[in-house]
Structure 1
Amino acid sequence: MKNKLLLLIGAAAIVSSPVSAHKIVEPGEPRKVAKGTFTAISGQQWNRLQQKEGKYQEVWSVDGHQLNRIAFYGAVPIDKPLIKERHKKRAPLPKVQANMLLPDIPILLERTYRTQYGIPNFEIGLQEPAKFIGQDGIRFEYSYTNPDDEVKRRGESFGALVDGELYLVTYEAPSLYYFEKEKEEFRGVVERLELRN
């Protein structure tokens, strides 16, 4: 397990080395994220990754997306998935529903990961009410192991439903060392996050 994590760290360093492919998120500067649906202020420098998996998503990372990442999903409308579907007919993704409740948000994320990434073991942990972007929302924890690298990852997420649209922010990283490394920074980003009108 430790050797696999070291191999993953080395691979991520090689993949993430061309910093010019990313845009720097400077600390303390308000920034529009996820197509301008949020205003975010970071407490440290992040890289805004150019690759994203759908038009509602924006991803930040410090050490490379395999080692730590914040994903912002802004204003995902009814009948749309969180990310772009790879195989609409063979493996359709779950979609935001008009009758969704807050406890449905973790299930939507779980089903998305299981379908899109082939994650067989995705576990939802603690779920609790939380204020998010000035709204009544949900905070939840999750964990999973990607069969491609067999590294266990932990995640924490905040979500809310506003006027039929889903707003969601996730943070995830390998459970060994990396998750704790940026967890408090993520929570600070969430606390300062604002919904843009």
Structure 2
Amino acid sequence: MTKMIKTFALANALALSLSACGSTGSSLGGLGSPYGLVRAGQTVNVGSGAMSVTSPREWNRQGGFSFTDVRWVEDWTLNGPYLDGITFVTALPDNKRLIWQEYKADRQVPRFRSTMTAPEVASLLETLFRVEGGSVEFRTLGLAPRTFLGANGFQLDFEHLDGDEVWRKGRAVGAVIDGRLYLVMLDAARAHYYAQALPDYEAIVRSAARRR
């Protein structure tokens, strides 16, 4: 997740190099690449393996982990993480964070609690973007009930302005099931890239299934 919301300098370089290939779903793979290809129609287990999704076209899957990643979270991108990304949260347990942080970090991202309501999860995501993503403005556009993975969940729509002066727009669909957080989140540059990725995102959300 931090690759999508924090490492803007690296992501910008990736985006520039991939500007011509995003609409075709070309892979970021290659020698030394941190990404692998998810093919159209392929069903894969994401994050901790507690959830599977089917990709409607080729997407690029983050491979391996950085020291800030946690095993319940996985990121995909179509055009490079500076421009768009989908984050999967798969059965995040009680008292765990969406990212790894130093114990003495000045600004802490709250831990997920199994009793959290939809507004509290929305607040957690906003804090994540402000603390780790450097968002200087965050707007909640809507928060409504939505069924996810067969459970009573929620849909959060939002937009945020980051330190790089780019407005981004997002949607998160999730649910707390058996005390664990399951969530799929789209976050993309508001101009063009959000609308481009939204149909794929919705197809992926509809395809999501729990794995026991």
1:19 correspondence with 2:29: yes
The question of whether the paired residues in 2 share the 8 Å contact of 1:67 and 1:174 is answered with: yes
The one of 175, 189, 192 equivalent to 2:190 is 175
In 1, Cα distance between equivalents of 2:160 and 2:142: 14
Q: 1:174 to 1:159 in 2, by over 3 A?
A: same
| Alpha carbons 2:170, 2:185 under 8 Å: kept | yes
Q: Which residue of 1 aligns with 2:154?
A: 138
Q: CA offsets per residue over residues 47-77 of structure 1, 9 Å max, x none?
A: 0023563222111111001111000011111
Is the Cα contact below 8 Å between 1:77 and 1:164 reproduced in 2? yes
Which secondary structure state, in structure 2, belongs to the residue aligned with residue 123 of structure 1? strand
Shift, 1:19, TM fit? 2.2
**Cα distance in 2 for residues equivalent to 1:180 and 1:24:** 22
The percent identity for this pair of structures is 28
**Where in structure 2 are there 5+ consecutive unaligned residues?**
1-10, 20-26
Give the match's secondary structure for 1:117.
coil
Contact 2:48 2:91 in 1 (8 A): no
Task: Quote the Cα distance in structure 2 between the aligned partners of 1:123 and 1:87.
Answer: 29
Normalization by structure 1: what TM-score?
0.88
Do 1:56 and 1:73's aligned partners in 2 also have CA atoms closer than 8 Å?
A: yes
Q: 1:87: Cα distance to partner?
A: 5.8
Please state if 1:38 is matched with 2:48: no
1:29 to 19, 42, 50: 42
How many Å separate the matches in 2 of 1:116 and 1:140?
A: 19
For residue 189 of structure 1, what is the aligned residue in structure 2? Answer: 204
Q: Aligned pair in 2 of structure 1 residues 94, 9: CA closer, same or farther (>3 Å)?
A: closer
Residue 192 (structure 1) shift: 0.6
Is 1:55–1:83's contact at 8 Å kept on the other side of the alignment? Answer: no
**Counterpart secondary structure, 1:138:** strand
Instruction: Give the Cα–Cα distance (whole angstroms) in 2 for the partners of residues 54 and 124 of structure 1.
Output: 26
The more displaced of 93-102 and 165-174 is: 93-102
Q: Distance in 1 between matches of 2:123 and 2:139?
A: 10
Q: Counterparts in 2 of 1:91-102, with a 5 A limit?
A: 91-102=107-118
Q: In the alignment, is residue 47 of structure 1 matched against residue 60 of structure 2?
A: yes
Distance (whole Å) between structure 2 residues aligned to residue 188 and residue 15 of structure 1: 24
| Partner secondary structure for residue 185 of structure 1 | helix
Question: 1:76 & 1:38 partners in 2: Cα distance?
Answer: 11
Runs of 5+ unmatched residues, structure 1: 1-7
Given that residues 72 and 170 in structure 1 are in contact (C-alpha distance below 8 angstroms), is that contact kept between their aligned partners in structure 2? yes
Equivalent residues, number: 189
Whether the aligned pair in 2 keeps the contact of 1:86 and 1:116 (CA below 8 Å) is no
Question: Could you give the per-residue CA deviations for residues 72-114 of structure 1, whole angstroms, max 9, x where no partner exists?
Answer: 0111111111111256442221111132112211111001111
1:88–1:168 Cα change, 3 Å: farther
Alignment RMSD: 2.0
**TM-score, length of structure 2 as denominator length:** 0.82
Distance 1:171 1:91 in 2: 24
Q: CA shift at 1:11, angstroms?
A: 5.2
- Spell out, residue by residue over 1:146-175, the C-alpha distance to the aligned partner (whole angstroms, 9 max, x if none): 10x210000011010011111111101111
Q: Is the 8 A contact 1:105 1:159 kept in 2?
A: no
